A = this chain, B = another copy of it.
């Protein structure tokens, strides 16, 4: 197992030097925090990651959850992890004090989740789902329900889940058919089946709390008739916990992320399943989307974290493994083998991984910062501005570290050659683990439709305009440095290319030609991601350049900053030029994937 799975120095750089976490403490909501408290939380996360998660990473894959007699057994480290996270108050750390949280900024929470996820991505699903489910309760449920569920969920003794998907309704939530019928007690009788429910049952929690979407009898069709319910595995009756007729009917055998069971449950088979309405009737999908946005950022972060772990595992190998001779070796026959890190192609694979994992992490932190500013800013205009920026970035934050993280981990595996394909090293597990990230919480196809179909056009393109201003500000800053000027100009050109594509596509939407508008949304996502991640890299390079010029860093510190600038150059040289090919396609009018040509696929 590789020794290192993330870089504390890089995390410090992003958190403090690039995103200036301390600035957030000027906002009333975060006023009790300071850099010392942030560092304490991060240190606590590292302890849990080092002591519980990382040592169990491979074991939890090898010994996957077992279903027997409708009960699921998981690796015992899950219990230790949930307890440690509960004890440290880290499951609901971003919640308000009133709801049992610490009002920790999302920006810092991202740093925490990144460490945990790089150590053992699957395990973080347990706490991530509890946090997300709990937040729905915190945001929309009555005080009575909050008091009943939140303390146990945040303590890690009860497990939260998201009950969305049904056998016939995956991405298409409007087709949900689970039903709910009001009873005299105020509870609802729930009937239905849910599939792919992660952490949906296991023996390390005393109760499982499914935040479940269902239709109240007589509700409108489609998305407007869906309500949100708390459906526990055990319900309280006369002070005792009784079985609530939620049966674990199956477990999925997955390619990776085996540490977390994904299950199929049947609720109300004996007509004895009760659920409690969260918030108002028929508002369920709207509520759920709040959690889904958070979850989407979480999935993107998971992609960046796995890519980070793979990067360090392959970097370690590349430093240690001798193989072949350097291209510049004059007397190859008599020279000793060189370390593979000296081969340009290995270096390319390493730099690509670094660019994707650190660029992806930066992007996720940017989104988290927008979330903080949108939640806690004092004035309405700022709140709205940052909300729009967050809303626009969310599908990119979900998609880039997932799609490119898969590539990145695959390159990590390739660095190890045949060994990368074997279980002697963690790369093949990471490759299996990360593959889920383009599917969880809305596939890349769904995210791309969301980005182009909704986010680009919302409020007449206001969010895009705001993002362009943010990017322009970075471009302006970069022009002040001779060494960065060239990259600043490139990015400005690329921004123009993006605008050109948008101006080409949006008129189709205005004419109602949604098929022409959205057919290649996936390529638009690639184009936008390249530009947004390049912006993040230029931002990191500016901070590094400033530090070199003003702090006179030496040794490792100087190398750290130089490496940031170098990786930015690498991304601009090897990745950013791909915008040309995507733009070529997006500006072409010969659409080849439209639905009238079914017969053309054999």
Contacts and interface: CB of A to CB of B under 8 A. Distances in A.
Contacts of A574: 523, 585, 592
Given A322-B168, A413-B435, A577 B584 contact: yes
Contact of A171 (B10, B324, B424, B570): B324
A42 interface: no
A351 B577 contact: no
Interface string A235-260: 00000000000000000111110000
A344 B519 contact: yes
A417 interface: yes
Given A254-B423, A560-B602, 13 more contacts: A169-B323, A252-B422, A327-B519, A328-B514, A344-B520, A344-B591, A345-B521, A354-B601, A354-B602, A431-B435, A559-B600, A573-B592, A580-B584
A598 B418 contact: no
A322 to B, nearest CB: 7
A293 interface: no
Interface in A551-602: 559-560, 562-563, 566-567, 569-570, 573-574, 577-581, 584-585, 588, 590-595, 597-602
A344 B515 contact: yes
B328 A595 contact: yes
B422 A439 contact: no
Contact of A342 (B327, B420, B439, B598): B598
A273 interface: no
Contacts of A345: 445, 448-449, 519, 521-522, 593
A301 to B, nearest CB: 19
17 contacts: A172-B323, A174-B333, A195-B418, A253-B422, A253-B424, A328-B515, A341-B601, A342-B598, A344-B515, A345-B593, A347-B594, A348-B522, A410-B435, A563-B601, A563-B602, A574-B585, A580-B581
Interface of A: 7, 9-10, 165, 168-172, 174-175, 195-196, 221-222, 252-256, 262, 315, 322-328, 332-334, 337, 341-348, 350-351, 354, 406, 410, 413-414, 417-418, 420-424, 428, 431-432, 435-436, 438-439, 443-445, 448-449, 514-515, 518-523, 559-560, 562-563, 566-567, 569-570, 573-574, 577-581, 584-585, 588, 590-595, 597-602
Given A172-B323, A322-B168, A577-B585, A414 B439 contact: yes
A348 B593 contact: yes
A421 B257 CA distance: 10
B222 A333 contact: yes
A579 B585 CA distance: 13
Nearest to A347: B593
Nearest to A582: B577
A252 B423 CA distance: 8
Tell me the interface secondary structure of chain A in the complex. Answer: helix
A204 B590 CA distance: 55
Contacts of A602: 7, 9-10, 354, 559-560, 563
A431 B431 CA distance: 10
A593 B351 contact: yes
Contacts of A420: 439
A564 B457 CA distance: 36
A354 B600 CA distance: 11
B573 A432 contact: no
Contact of A439 (B354, B418, B514, B579): B418
Contact of A344 (B221, B436, B581, B594): B594
Contacts of A599: 559, 562-563
Contacts of A413: 435
A598 B341 contact: yes
Contacts of A175: 337
A414 B444 contact: yes
A221 B255 contact: no
B435 A417 contact: no
